[in-house]
Amino acid sequence: MSFYSLDYEKERFIQLAKKNTRSFYEHHDQIPSSAGQVELAKELVEEMKEIGLEAYYNKKTAFAIGKLSKNVTDDITPIGFFAHVDTADFNANNIRPQVHEHYDGQKIVLDQAKNIVLDSAEFPDLLTLKDQTLITSDGHTLLGVDDKAGITGALAMLRYLTEHSEIEHGDVFVAFGPDEEIGCGGQYFDIADFPGVEFAYTLDNGRPGDFTYDTFNASEVTIHIKGTVVHPGEAYGLMVNATTLMNDFLSNLPQDQVPEKSRNHDGYFLVLHTQSSVDHADISMIIRDFDQAEFNHKEQFIYNLVKKLNQKYGKGRFTVKIREQYENIYNYIKDKPYIVNLALDAYRKSGLTTNVHSFRGGTDGNFISPKGIPTPNLFNGGGNYHGRYEYVTVEQIDKLAETLTNIIMEHLRQTRNGRNEKPLEKYW
């Protein structure tokens, strides 16, 4: 039994998936970073108008904005939903979605000649999708589940509410934005496009029932090291080899606080890139941690290490720059439990088993929350994001549309009858 039209959701997702909207970090100074995103955003504006929303394209931020006006007289705060139009750093040319009706849980050969196979033995979550309509790529591109599934679910929700005018609701805002995959989109968002919105949700990666309001705090670190070049035959007591200094810095980093030894709620240091010669060396790193105090400690560790090595090798040999990229959404959610409780109440009404967990990364919500609209993440369905093995089922998209509708309806019900303000409990 479907919530909305499975045929619409299937065909609309396929249409969206075929569009190349890949973002490019090397063009991150452009808004957006690729022309395909503009084309899709403007197309979504026209579809929202056709559905019956007020809608427009914000040329400055590259967001497609829509508003479904309330049909009640209650004093109810508007809520919002975000999905992103761009796809990740993987081939997105000539995407050919493949539909597998009544999926039987067996392996799917995506390309016989090149032995590209989607196998439930390798990806056991596929076994939970038996009898559903599975959509994959042809194995040569990504599919674009992240986040075309989120967009499709939002559109289905909007169509459902406009086609069922008897369902009461407050103002609902939606925003389809650019460049989430390169960590830029949410930075552009203008909260003037969401007037009065109290809180919002992103519709990003996750299985139905997943819910995330705890993400990394994130910083990027750049270290520059200055050496002294002298002819090696006359170098005694004079040469300072920047490569040697760089190796000293790297050897002093905590060897157990790295991604390959981290999981769950662990943070880490990650050295992304190094380049060195006798004359100079450069190190590019990132710092990640959920806990604010531990995150601050990690940043201070870098400052202290640079100070220590400058004392050892001479003032000015090491210079450091730390740029904070985004904050943990939890910092903005922890004192506003209604935002979480509302979503989880709606999950239960949708028949979902809730899975609240930490997200070892970031979303647009990390940038939008500090702007004054706390924004945790729901789900978009599917799996194996960002590569040739991406998949989603039409039924998962349909469940997203149902869940969004239940959030909207539950928000009105609790506005009238009292909000669920049960304090949040840490789940980690």
- What's the pTM value of the predicted model, to 2 decimals? 0.93
pLDDT of residue 355: 94
393 Cβ partners below 8 Å, 6+ apart?
A: 103, 129, 132, 133, 134, 135, 381, 382
* 128-141 tens-digit pLDDT: 999 999 999 999 99
Q: What is the mean pLDDT of residues 161-166?
A: 96
Residues assigned a catalytic role: 86, 180
Is there a single domain that holds both residue 289 and residue 194? Answer: no
Is there a single domain that holds both residue 191 and residue 248? Answer: no
- CATH code at 238? 3.30.70.360
**Mean of pLDDT over the chain:** 95
Last residue of a domain, which of 269, 293, 326?
Answer: 326
pLDDT of residue 110: 92
Phi-psi region of 351 (alpha: psi -120 to 50; beta: other; left: phi over 0): left
Is there a single domain that holds both residue 149 and residue 168? Answer: yes
Concatenated DSSP letters for 20-64?
--B--GGGTTSSSSSHHHHHHHHHHHHHHHHHT-EEEEETTTTEE
Give the number of domains in the chain.
Answer: 2
Is there a single domain that holds both residue 312 and residue 345? Answer: no
Q: Rounded to whole angstroms, how far apart are CA atoms 93 and 116?
A: 18
pLDDT of residue 1: 67
* 40-53 tens-digit pLDDT: 999 999 999 999 99
CB-CB contact of 328 with 217 (8 Å)? yes
Domain hosting residue 237, numbered range? 217-326
* 48-98 tens-digit pLDDT: 999 999 999 999 999 999 999 999 999 999 999 999 999 999 989 999 999
pLDDT of residue 25: 84
- Which structure tokens are listed for 236? 């005694």
Does residue 426 belong to any structural domain of this protein?
A: no
- Which structure tokens are listed for 29? 């100074």
pLDDT of residue 171: 98
Does residue 425 belong to any structural domain of this protein?
A: no
Q: What is the mean pLDDT of residues 259-275?
A: 96
Q: Is the pLDDT of residue 162 over 80?
A: yes
pLDDT of residue 27: 87
* 324-344 tens-digit pLDDT: 999 999 999 999 999 999 999
Q: CA dist 17 to 9, 33, 37, 44, 91, Å?
A: 12, 18, 12, 13, 12
**Confidence band of 361 (pLDDT split at 50, 70, 90):** confident
- Which structure tokens are listed for 255? 């060897």
Is there a single domain that holds both residue 351 and residue 269? Answer: no
* 235-261 tens-digit pLDDT: 999 999 999 999 999 999 999 999 999
Q: What is the percentage of the chain residues whose pLDDT exceeds 70?
A: 100
CB-CB contact of 136 with 390 (8 Å)? yes
Q: What is the mean pLDDT of residues 392-421?
A: 97
- Which structure tokens are listed for 143? 């599919």
Last residue of a domain, which of 326, 343, 375?
Answer: 326
